[in-house]
């Protein structure tokens, strides 16, 4: 075990996956005392290529035809082989030029990732002896670690530059786009050379002048964003300003200058220091904040350079895909929104502020992209924000396919836009209420423009996450009132803070838990930090201003004691505000049904609740015991799992018996395949992203309630998610406007 740990630690210091693999195969051979250790991985063709070896002659490329040799047998059988005299085996395949005929023992184990064989690890020896059980177990254990690395290795049979080169990243914002690249013109702070300061007093003065100039620029950009996208997004610039004015940040720069560094080198060292502190944090949201400090550093350095020119060779009147290593919000503020097709950021994450901006702008974004070679200005790209990938050097045929798909989506959007004022009523006269999910002020107008019947889920934690400190009651009132005023008499459902778990706030206590989805989150967190909940409830009631259209949703309620405590705090807030002279009407109250155990308690809660809302995302993962964000088991997450459909049917039946209105929010509410089932199950209110409203409205108007109920009866007899999905797709395929509801891809 100590040897295994030592090998992985040494490999961890390598700069590239290729170097990691070389270190590991050399170390395995030394640890086991074998003459050879080799790693084979599959090519796109299915052949197995030797990518690293200790002991074999690799001056000539070595590729095994698909299914050939002992390596092919291991790949097919998916279990290890441990034998002597491998050349006597009937499926032995001799590797020319490798000189492996001198080795008389062979032990190979498969590398398996998510059920797929992604490589084969082989050791060989001149001695005629089978590798002992301990050695084979050691090899299998290392193979498990190697399986996580091989996906980062380039395809050994693919040339460095080919057409239709697909590079994978993270989906930052959905959508498709294609066009020429325009690289962000910014000084690279990370490449600043070490510089010595001859006059510390002058350098200090330069720092104060530079800081004031950047703050002025940030406030100008803040105003631009607030006017175009709303106050919630503009507060990102407040976060940048707070970082810049933080005494810890300023003091460290000044200390660097006093120690002899010139201003650029002091800035570089300071930014690197704080960035590494964020990167060392366990929580993904906090880790993503390292980008804020790096983007701020790049902005300060760019201002220091005084280089305000736009990208070389860029046509100021043409559309473009913005490309950069560490794109900041400041980089897109002055760009013409009508020309910005997409954003591709190599160092970003799905939780980046730039991804939030892309969603607000309605353009696709791919984050965390690790390109194999630099992208040049003007290079034509296809950006797939749905899948989180970039296609370089696309062929004419692929461009034509994507162009057809993009045009089809645009035509559909225009067609659906024309129907935004029509009622969401089935062909046999049953009305549906289609609501918008929201959390940013930038979401308000799109929902109204697309005919939303109200806000079915306002995620109040989003304004909290866009700040570097808790918003005051007055600030919360201002945010909530904008939403309530915009929707007038239409209903607005305010969900109280759903933080903790995978959504911590960086400035509040956060406990690292082995199972955060089952831990300190939702009302469990806010009831332990009761001052947050009281302040928020007061702000919601004040923002309502006595209107009946505002509702309160409590998330992650799993027991009666939690619900009673939440209601007690709401009543207290209303009493306080009435005594203070504010117009006050107690909002109607509901709970998010996410914890399966809460369903059995609904009959006991009937007199306490006015409605319920099904949070399909969490309900699915709790029912199936699958973390939907897991890279290992996330692929098994499927909201059309029969257990989920049957559970929703049970919830709707119980709600109907109790006379409780029920709504659904989450992925199910915006998926045409699932929406037909929800309608057939008796759900009459759906809440979704505003972009999906026109499509779901069109779907509702295209079906009858009777046919949806018949479909549910058939679906309830299926025992697999794929069977249910196939049944629903067949149904959608029979509709007059089927091309709208069945997803297409090149």
CB 341 within 8 A of CB 177: yes
106/85 Cα distance (integer angstroms): 8
Confidence of residue 371 (pLDDT cuts 50, 70, 90): low
* Pair of tokens at residue 164: 């239709």
Residues in the chain: 746
The catalytically annotated residue of 104, 290, 353, 510 is 353
- The two structure tokens encoding residue 728: 């629903």
Sign for the CA dihedral angle at 219, 225, 231, 236 comes to negative
Flag whether the pTM goes above 0.75.
no
Using alpha carbons only, give the angle 475, 478, 484 rounded to the nearest 5 degrees: 145
Handedness of CA 639, 643, 646, 650 (dihedral sign): negative
Specify the range with the lowest mean pLDDT, choosing from 161-165, 303-307, 434-438.
161-165
Those residues whose C-beta lies under 8 Å from the C-beta of residue 635, and which sit 6 or more positions away, are 114
Of 37, 197, 665, 728, which residue is the catalytic one? 665
Which residues is 323 bridged to in the sheet? 183, 344
- Digit-coded pLDDT (tens) for 253-287: 889 889 888 888 888 888 888 877 766 655 554 55
Cα–Cα distances in angstroms (integers) from residue 189 to residues 271, 275, 294, in the given order: 9, 13, 8
75 CB-side CA count, 13 A? 21
Which DSSP category does 115 fall into? T
Domains of the chain (ranges, CATH numbers): 2-150 (3.30.450.40), 165-408 (3.50.30.10), 424-705 (3.20.20.60)
At residue 160 the predicted structure's pLDDT band, cuts being 50, 70 and 90, is: very low
97 classed as catalytic: no
43 has catalytic annotation: no
pLDDT, tens digit, for every residue of 336-353? 667 889 988 876 555 466
182 neighbors 321 (Cβ within 8 angstroms): yes
Highest mean pLDDT among 201-205, 402-406, 640-644 belongs to 640-644
Q: Which residues of 69-100 are buried (b: 16+ CB within 10 A; e: fewer)?
A: bbbbbbbeeeebbbeeebeeeeeebebeebeb
Q: What is the pLDDT of residue 636?
A: 83
- Across the chain, mean pLDDT equals 83
How many Cα atoms are found within 13 Å in the side-chain-facing hemisphere of 719? 0
Q: Which two tokens stand for residue 99?
A: 């000189």
| Cβ proximity of 645 and 716 under 8 Å | yes
* pLDDT, tens only, 485-513: 999 999 999 999 987 665 666 666 667 77
Residue 455's pLDDT is 95
CA distances from 566 to 220, 552, 586, 663 (A): 41, 10, 13, 21
């Amino acid at each position: 075990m100590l040897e295994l740990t030592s090998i992985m630690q040494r490999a961890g210091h390598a700069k590239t996956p290729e170097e990691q693999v070389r270190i590991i195969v050399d170390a395995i051979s030394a640890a086991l005392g074998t003459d050879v250790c080799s790693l084979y991985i599959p090519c796109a063709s299915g052949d197995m290529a030797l990518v690293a070896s200790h002991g074999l002659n690799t001056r000539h490329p070595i590729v095994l035809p698909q299914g050939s040799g002992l390596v092919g047998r291991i790949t097919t059988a998916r279990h290890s082989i441990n034998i002597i005299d491998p050349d006597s085996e009937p499926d032995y395949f001799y590797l020319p030029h490798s000189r492996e005929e001198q080795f008389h023992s062979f032990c190979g184990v498969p590398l398996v990732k998510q059920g797929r064989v992604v490589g084969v690890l082989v050791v060989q020896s001149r001695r005629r002896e089978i590798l002992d059980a301990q050695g084979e177990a050691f090899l299998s254990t290392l193979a498990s670690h190697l399986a996580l690395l091989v996906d980062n290795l380039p395809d050994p049979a693919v040339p460095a530059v080919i057409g239709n080169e697909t590079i994978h990243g993270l989906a930052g914002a959905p959508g498709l786009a294609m066009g020429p690249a325009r690289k962000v013109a910014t000084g690279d702070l990370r490449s600043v050379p070490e510089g010595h300061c001859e006059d510390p007093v002058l350098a200090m003065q330069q720092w104060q002048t530079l800081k004031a100039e950047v703050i002025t620029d940030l406030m100008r950009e803040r105003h631009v964003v607030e006017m175009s996208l709303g106050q919630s997004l503009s507060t990102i610039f407040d976060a940048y300003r707070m970082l810049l004015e933080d005494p810890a940040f300023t003091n460290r720069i000044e200390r660097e200058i006093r120690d002899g560094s010139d201003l650029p080198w002091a800035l570089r060292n300071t930014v690197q220091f704080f960035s590494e502190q964020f990167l060392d944090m366990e929580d993904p949201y906090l880790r993503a904040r390292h980008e804020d400090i790096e983007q701020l550093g790049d902005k300060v350095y760019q201002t220091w350079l005084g280089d305000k020119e736009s990208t070389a060779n860029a046509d100021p009147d043409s559309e473009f895909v913005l490309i950069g290593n560490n794109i900041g919000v400041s980089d897109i503020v002055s760009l013409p929104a009508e020309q910005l097709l997409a954003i591709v950021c190599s160092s970003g994450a799905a939780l980046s502020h730039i991804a939030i901006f892309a969603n607000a702008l309605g353009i696709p974004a791919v984050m965390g992209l690790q390109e194999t070679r630099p992208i040049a200005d003007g290079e034509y790209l296809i950006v797939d924000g749905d899948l989180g990938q970039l296609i370089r050097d696309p062929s004419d045929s692929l461009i034509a396919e994507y162009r057809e798909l993009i045009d089809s989506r645009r035509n559909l959007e225009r067609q659906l836009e024309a129907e935004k004022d029509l009622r969401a009523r089935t062909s046999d006269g049953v009305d549906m209420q289609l609501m918008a999910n929201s959390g940013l002020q930038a979401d308000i107008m799109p929902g109204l423009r697309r005919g939303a019947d109200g806000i079915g889920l306002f995620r109040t934690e989003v304004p909290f996450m866009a700040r570097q400190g808790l918003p005051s009651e007055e600030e919360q009132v201002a945010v909530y009132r904008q939403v309530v005023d915009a929707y007038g008499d239409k209903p607005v459902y305010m969900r109280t803070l759903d933080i903790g778990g995978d959504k911590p706030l960086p400035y509040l206590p956060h406990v690292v838990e082995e199972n955060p989805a089952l831990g300190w989150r939702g009302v469990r967190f806010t009831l332990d930090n009761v001052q947050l909940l009281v302040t928020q409830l007061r702000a919601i009631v004040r923002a309502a201003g006595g209107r009946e259209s505002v509702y309160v949703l409590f998330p992650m309620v799993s027991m009666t004691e939690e619900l009673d405590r939440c209601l007690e705090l709401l009543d207290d807030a209303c009493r306080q505000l009435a005594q203070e002279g504010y117009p006050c009407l107690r909002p109607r109250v509901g709970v998010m049904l996410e914890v399966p155990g809460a369903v059995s308690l609904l009959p006991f809660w009937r007199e306490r609740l006015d409605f319920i809302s099904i949070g399909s995302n969490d309900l699915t993962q709790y029912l199936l015991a699958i973390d939907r964000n897991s890279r290992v088991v996330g692929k098994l997450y499927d909201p059309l799992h029969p257990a989920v459909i049957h559970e929703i049917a049970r919830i709707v039946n119980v709600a109907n018996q109790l006379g409780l209105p029920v709504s659904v929010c989450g992925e199910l509410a915006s998926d045409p395949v699932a929406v037909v089932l929800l309608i057939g199950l008796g759900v009459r209110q759906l809440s979704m992203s505003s972009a999906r409203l026109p499509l779901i409205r069109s779907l509702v108007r295209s079906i009858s309630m009777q046919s949806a109920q018949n479909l549910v009866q058939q679906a309830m007899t299926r025992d697999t998610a794929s069977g249910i999905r196939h049944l629903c797709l067949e149904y959608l395929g029979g509709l007059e406007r089927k091309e709208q509801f069945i997803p297409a891809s090149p």
